[in-house]
Amino acid sequence: MTDNIAWNAVHAGYGRTVAVEDISVSVAPGEKLGILGRNGAGKTTILRAMMGDAKVHRGTVQVGGADVTQRPAFQRNKLGVAVVPQTRDVFRSLTVRENLLSASADAGRLDHAVAVFPRLGERMRNLGADLSGGEQQMLSIARAIMTAPRFLMLDEPLEGLSPTVAHAVMDAVRRMVTDEGLGCVLVEQHVRTVLEFCDRVMVIERGRCAFLGTPDELEAEGTILSRAVGIAAH
């Protein structure tokens, strides 16, 4: 348990607003947790609470057994948590290579990041601003893994990507998680992707956890997906 990241009865939001309530879940190294829910349900807030970008009103967040609720974001990253935001946030005025090196100067990590996303190797001298959406997403993930995380949190990584690029991105993530034994939290609107990729799924409905279990249990349950996500799993 001490190697996990954990949300313990977390109430979190922005300013005085509480966006999620009573969220309790932990993720072990090598485990893949998917988070599903409608837009505005609070999925992103759960990730942001772990990184300190959302205010935790009650409860605690832990990394490797340490309570990091009050710690700044950079310390949480040093403890092994990296996030790939929905907005990608590549550094637009830096080249691909500089984007990667801004996260870590480790040449070995740079080679590794390029091995995971060979496309980036061809674009090393291009500015972040000049990349396509798919390339920006690859860069955002590659930059996160430059920090050698033990847990990778991905916020809607497939949003706006063509099916081919989305497939390539998920393939790379799958290889990375499997090969390196990373714990992974995936927030995603593509229900089928989550159900196929993840070991466990949490469904968020109006800021609360409506379901936490395996993909099989979720599909067997029947009504939650259509109610909380708005579509069937197929």
Partner 1 sequence: MTNLHRSIGAAAVIPLAAVALALIFPNQQAFLAQIAITALVVLSLDLVVGFAGLATLGHAAMYGAGAYGAALYALHVWAEPLTGLIVGGLAGATIAFLSALMLMRAHGLTFLMMTVAITQILYEIVNKSRAVTGGDDGLYGIVMQPLLGVFEFDFYGRLAFWYAAVVLWLVFLLLRHIVASPFGLTARAVRDDGDRVATLGGNIFGHRVALYTLSGAIAGLAGALSAQTVQVVGLHSLSVTFSADILVMLVMGGAGRLWGGLLGALVFMMIHHYAAEIDPVRWMLFVGAILVVIVLFLPKGLFGGLEALVNRLRGRAPA
Sign of CA dihedral 4, 158, 201, 36: positive
> Which contacts of 160-168 are long-range, i.e. CB under 8 A and separated by 24 or more positions?
160/133, 161/133, 161/134, 161/137, 162/134, 165/133, 165/134, 165/137, 166/134, 166/190, 166/193, 168/119, 168/134
DSSP-derived secondary structure letter, 36: E
Which residue among 105, 132, 216, 232 contacts partner 1 (CB under 8 A)? 105
Stretch that binds partner 1, among 99-107, 156-164, 170-178, 185-193 (CB under 8 A): 99-107
Report if residue 124 touches partner 1, rule: CB under 8 A: no
Between β-strands 200-205 and 208-213, what pairing exists: parallel, antiparallel or unpaired? antiparallel
Which residue among 6, 63, 120, 146 contacts partner 1 (CB under 8 A)? 146
Closest distance to partner 1 from the beta carbon of 75 (Å):
8
In this structure, what token pair is assigned to residue 181?
């034994």
Closest distance to partner 1 from the beta carbon of 207 (Å):
23
202 near 20, Cβ under 8 Å? Answer: no
Nearer to partner 1, 38 or 97 (CB): 97
Stretch that binds partner 1, among 29-37, 100-108, 110-118, 178-186 (CB under 8 A): 100-108
Closest distance to partner 1 from the beta carbon of 101 (Å):
6
Closest distance to partner 1 from the beta carbon of 16 (Å):
21
Which residue among 63, 83, 165, 176 contacts partner 1 (CB under 8 A)? 83
Report the phi/psi class of residue 15: left, alpha or beta, with left for phi > 0 and alpha for psi in -120 to 50. left
Report if residue 102 touches partner 1, rule: CB under 8 A: yes
